[in-house]
Amino acid sequence: MIGIYFSGTGNTKYCIEKFISIYDKKISAIPLEEAELAINEISSHDSLIIAYPIYYSNLPKTVRDFIIDNSHIWNGKKIFIIATMSLFSGDGAGVSARILKKYGATITGGLHIKMPDCICDVKALKRSLMQNTKLVERANNKLDIAAQKLRNGKPTQEGLSFFSHLAGLFGQRLWFFNKTRSYSDKLKIDKELCVRCGNCVMVCPMNNLSMPYEEPTVSNRCTMCYRCINQCPQKAITLLGKKVITQYTVEDFLKK
Q: What is the pLDDT of residue 147?
A: 97
Is residue 221 predicted with pLDDT exceeding 80? yes
| Number of residues that make up the chain | 256
Mean pLDDT of 17-29: 95
**Mean pLDDT, to the nearest integer, of 197-216?**
91
Does pLDDT of 101 surpass 90? Answer: yes
pLDDT of 256 reads 56
CATH 3.30.70.20 fits 183-242, yes or no: yes
**pTM assigned to the model:** 0.94
SS3 of 150, please? helix
Distances (CA, A) of 83 to 90, 91, 128, 149: 11, 9, 23, 17
* 99 close to 58: Cβ distance less than 8 angstroms: no
Q: What was the pLDDT predicted at 198?
A: 92
The ranges assigned to domains in the chain are: 2-178, 183-242
- What is the CATH class of 2-178? alpha beta
Of the chain, the percentage scoring pLDDT greater than 70 comes to: 99
User: For the residues 193-222, what does the mean pLDDT come to?
Assistant: 92
Label residue 109 by pLDDT band (50, 70, 90).
very high
Instruction: Render pLDDT for 148-191 as a digit per residue (tens, 0 to 9).
Output: 999 999 999 999 999 999 988 888 887 777 788 899 999 999 99
Q: How far apart are CA 163 and CA 170, in angstroms?
A: 11
- How confident is the model over 180-205, as a mean pLDDT? 93
In the structure, what pLDDT confidence band is assigned to residue 144 with cuts at 50, 70 and 90? very high
122 in Cβ contact with 241 (< 8 Å): yes
